[in-house]
Structure 1
Amino acid sequence: MNNLYRQRLSSHLKEMFKYLRLVFNDHFVFALLIFIGGLGYAYSNGLKELQPNLWWAKPVIVVVLLLVLQLGRFATLFQDADVVFLLPKEAEVRQYLRGARTYSEGLAVVYELFGMFVLLPFVQVTDAMSVFDLALIAVAQLLMKDSLFSLAIIRRFQVKAAWLKESFWFKWAVPLVILLVSVYGLPVIGTVLALVLAVSLRVADRRYDAVPFDWWQAITLENNRMMGVYRFFNLFTNVPMLKGVAKRRRYLDWLLNIVKITPRNTYLYLYSHGIVRSGEFSGLYTRLTILGMILLYFVRGTWLPVALAVLFLYLIGFQLIPFYWQFDDIVFTHLYPIAEKQRVNSFRRLMFSLTGITACLFLVMVVIANQDWQVGLIALVVEGVEVVLMVQYYLPLRLKKKK
């Protein structure tokens, strides 16, 4: 069973690296570096304006640590067929779970340490904790994460104790109490409580060695975890595992009626109806637009909001380009007496409308967040230039390159 998990982990990592290469292409990496640099600069400037002993500093530290604690889920890599083919090996499933825990917990430690590293400057400026206290809080954080993995293993067995399967208390309530104790001046006691929690759940886990393994529960949890991973990648690239479902969306008929039914608009009619009713591309467009608006609402400055708006406009435009070939598998589209140039122009009109709407929404959020007409004017000019360059020059080059 140990070899089986290693083989699956190797295949899983290859798949993840394949998607990461697609996501972190040269353009995106360049834009991401600009965004991270701007965000770090804004974070640094924000820290300079803070004063020690702020009343709201400790609650913020507790909330951030509690949210960081939820990062990193238990990756069992179970597959649907395991309920049949691994059933004879159920007695050895503990060996398999041991390998899964080692990988998952190692990855989670990286998340926890990185989150605390980012939070450290804020803690030092607003609370001035000693190095010893910070180290104890870090240890308590890692111990609580260990207890969550013990709880995850318990949930995959047919345990009758309902309180052990109730995730709210162990994922949110108990860690909240421990963090409150640790941050509000008693980090030693907080660490001891975290240690007691971790040891108790490990002991509870061992008590259920003879309990039957809940294959369906384990497979369902793993499928849900992987769907979350695939949805993240789907924000940036097409994922075959996620198949969108077409929806009628009658409430958008007024928008589709703008396109006149004429031979000239054949592909524009097809693309506009397709993008509205496609679960995959419409969801991708909506999620990125809403995410960009939310981030722009919280970002202040002259150039950082503009850079963020440019980044998300590029991401949206780049991810919508594959929609051009969405209907190529339908044989009837090849019978259209429509020139390729007319098809490209129809798609450009669609892209111009979608990116233009997003640019307007981003502009509104920039103006609301900054309350400065000069920043709004800069965003208007830069976004307008980007939309024109993307639709008039970048898009035709991408389509020509794919032929």
Structure 2
Amino acid sequence: MFNASQLWRKRLGQHAKETGRYLRLMFNDHLAFALLFFVAAFAYFYQQWLQTIPDNFPADWIIAIVLGALLTRSPIRTLLKEADTVFLLPAEYKMDKYFQRSFWYSFMIQLYIVTLALAALTPLYFAVFSERPSIWLLYLGIILVIFKIWNLLSSWWMLKERDANSRFMDMTIRLILNILTLFFFLQEDGYIYASITTVMFVLLLLYTYNTVGKKGIAWDLLIEKEDARMQAFYRLANMFTDVPHLRKKAKKRHLLVHLLTRGVPFNQKNTYTYLYRITFVRSSDYLGMYVRLFLLAIFFIFWIPNIWFKLAFALLFIYLSGFQLMTLWNHHRTIAWIDLYPVSIAEKKRSLVDFLLLLMLVKTLVLGIFLYFAASWQEMLMLWGVGGLFSFVFVETYVKKRLDKRLI
């Protein structure tokens, strides 16, 4: 006898076991220390900034946009697999309890994220709306819960719609209504407007349900979305450990490939030098991570007032770049023909170490230039000196030691 509830519990247990194993490897001592430093420093300077916040700061728009975006993004975690199109399709009429549990599981996970965002924005709320009673924050929390359920319902119904443009239009309209409702709620005389946008959201829900909500389940679309989310998690985990389930994608990026490889001599010992450079550019993981860390470092350099913390955050992001890019070593390990290269392991290791040092030095150089505009030329020279020395010591000691362990 088919039991949808039992199937959900089994799938959820397998999912928790697999993701938990990778999360333990991702949050190792180094990353935990970096996150602890990041959160503590951010909280300190966030509190300092709130004491000097200007009167015309658009806090209402900031709160509305951040929370509205989190409400709008409401994926449903179904935990379906590719084979389900064959084995579960005949039992579709018995899957109601399965999808109900997936809906509430998605709700609890996303409500936790919304709660964290609200907790982070609460000091800003009290700093700007200090004259309001604290009960207003409770009302805001109730609105977030109701709108999160509504957004999840709309997302679930739209997963029965195969037209990508229709799904994008629905998400865009929901985003606008979510932001406007929260913005009007934060205004002293915006109750009427917030009520109007709420009614419009309800009408949108009714329209969505009557047009696509009664359609049958689009199994292929549900499985495609679930697989995309798991692959995104695997790409993140692959920056810290080997993930055999990851399907790697390559992008062309001809100009960047040309810029990074034109100076590489065409000889045997530079085989892996060329390979690591085009892998860094064409992979869907490494270049994006490198650029994101760049942007975060620049933000903190300009936002943090204390010069020593500017330097500390710059060094932190330089370290994170080198630490996460070490996974280039295992990027091609499942491709057997690469082992046929007539190149020694020592040359392979030297190529990666040299490339990591180059990337860390480039980040040090550019962050130093931004530090010049955020502080002075003395701090720029200080970062160049300390960052360059740190990069060299890091790759010559820690990186080489880690690579030696992987060679055993």
Do the aligned residues in 2 keep the contact of 1:182 with 1:188 (CA within 8 Å)? yes
Aligned to 2:352: 347
> How far apart are the structure 1 equivalents of 2:102 and 2:202?
19
Tell me which amino acid in the other structure corresponds to 1:113.
Answer: T
Q: 2:83 aligns with which of 81, 84, 88?
A: 81
Do the aligned residues in 1 keep the contact of 2:318 with 2:360 (CA within 8 Å)? yes
**Residues 221 and 334 (structure 1), Cα distance of their counterparts in 2 relative to 1, 3 Å cut:** closer
1:135-284 matched pairs, under 5 angstroms: 135-157=138-160, 166-168=169-171, 170-185=173-188, 211-239=215-243, 240-245=245-250, 247=252, 249=254, 252-253=257-258, 255-262=260-267, 266=269, 269-278=270-279, 282-284=283-285
> How far apart are the structure 1 equivalents of 2:203 and 2:96?
18
Do residues 393 (structure 1) and 394 (structure 2) align?
Answer: no
> How far apart are the structure 2 equivalents of 1:354 and 1:135?
47
**Residues 110 and 71 (structure 1), Cα distance of their counterparts in 2 relative to 1, 3 Å cut:** farther
Aligned to 2:24: 21
Aligned to 1:371: 375
Tell me which amino acid in the other structure corresponds to 2:342.
Answer: Y
Q: 1:121 aligns with which of 123, 130, 135?
A: 123
Unpaired runs of 5+ residues, structure 2, are: none
Residue deviations 1:170-215 (CA, integer Å, cap 9, x gap)? 5212212311221112576688678767877887788788642222
> How far apart are the structure 2 equivalents of 1:177 and 1:390?
48
Do the aligned residues in 2 keep the contact of 1:31 with 1:311 (CA within 8 Å)? yes
Q: Say which is worse superposed, 235-244 or 139-148, in terms of deviation.
A: 235-244
Q: Say which is worse superposed, 101-110 or 340-349, in terms of deviation.
A: 340-349
**Residues 355 and 5 (structure 1), Cα distance of their counterparts in 2 relative to 1, 3 Å cut:** same
Do the aligned residues in 1 keep the contact of 2:311 with 2:383 (CA within 8 Å)? yes
Do the aligned residues in 2 keep the contact of 1:62 with 1:176 (CA within 8 Å)? yes
> How far apart are the structure 1 equivalents of 2:239 and 2:144?
30
Q: 1:305 aligns with which of 293, 306, 310?
A: 310
**Residues 106 and 249 (structure 1), Cα distance of their counterparts in 2 relative to 1, 3 Å cut:** same
> How far apart are the structure 1 equivalents of 2:97 and 2:133?
41
> How far apart are the structure 2 equivalents of 1:55 and 1:253?
44
> 1:43 Cα shift?
0.5
> 1:8 Cα shift?
1.0
**Residues 255 and 130 (structure 1), Cα distance of their counterparts in 2 relative to 1, 3 Å cut:** same
Q: Determine helix, strand or coil for the equivalent of 1:91.
A: helix
Do the aligned residues in 2 keep the contact of 1:72 with 1:108 (CA within 8 Å)? yes
TM-score norm. by structure 2 comes to 0.84
> 1:398 Cα shift?
1.0
**Residues 136 and 246 (structure 1), Cα distance of their counterparts in 2 relative to 1, 3 Å cut:** closer
Q: Percent identity?
A: 24
> How far apart are the structure 1 equivalents of 2:69 and 2:242?
29
Unpaired runs of 5+ residues, structure 1, are: none
1:324-363 matched pairs, under 5 angstroms: 324-326=329-331, 330=336, 333=339, 336=342, 338=344, 340-363=345-368
Aligned to 2:95: 93
Q: Say which is worse superposed, 166-175 or 108-117, in terms of deviation.
A: 166-175
> How far apart are the structure 1 equivalents of 2:151 and 2:254?
41
> 1:16 Cα shift?
1.3
**Residues 367 and 24 (structure 1), Cα distance of their counterparts in 2 relative to 1, 3 Å cut:** farther
> How far apart are the structure 2 equivalents of 1:287 and 1:303?
28
Q: Say which is worse superposed, 179-188 or 140-149, in terms of deviation.
A: 179-188
Q: Determine helix, strand or coil for the equivalent of 1:43.
A: helix
Tell me which amino acid in the other structure corresponds to 2:236.
Answer: F
Residue deviations 1:312-350 (CA, integer Å, cap 9, x gap)? 222222233243355565457456374x44443333222
Do the aligned residues in 1 keep the contact of 2:322 with 2:356 (CA within 8 Å)? yes
Tell me which amino acid in the other structure corresponds to 1:214.
Answer: A
> 1:127 Cα shift?
1.8
Tell me which amino acid in the other structure corresponds to 1:294.
Answer: L
Do the aligned residues in 2 keep the contact of 1:22 with 1:237 (CA within 8 Å)? yes
Tell me which amino acid in the other structure corresponds to 2:123.
Answer: P
Do residues 31 (structure 1) and 37 (structure 2) align?
Answer: no
> How far apart are the structure 1 equivalents of 2:208 and 2:8?
20
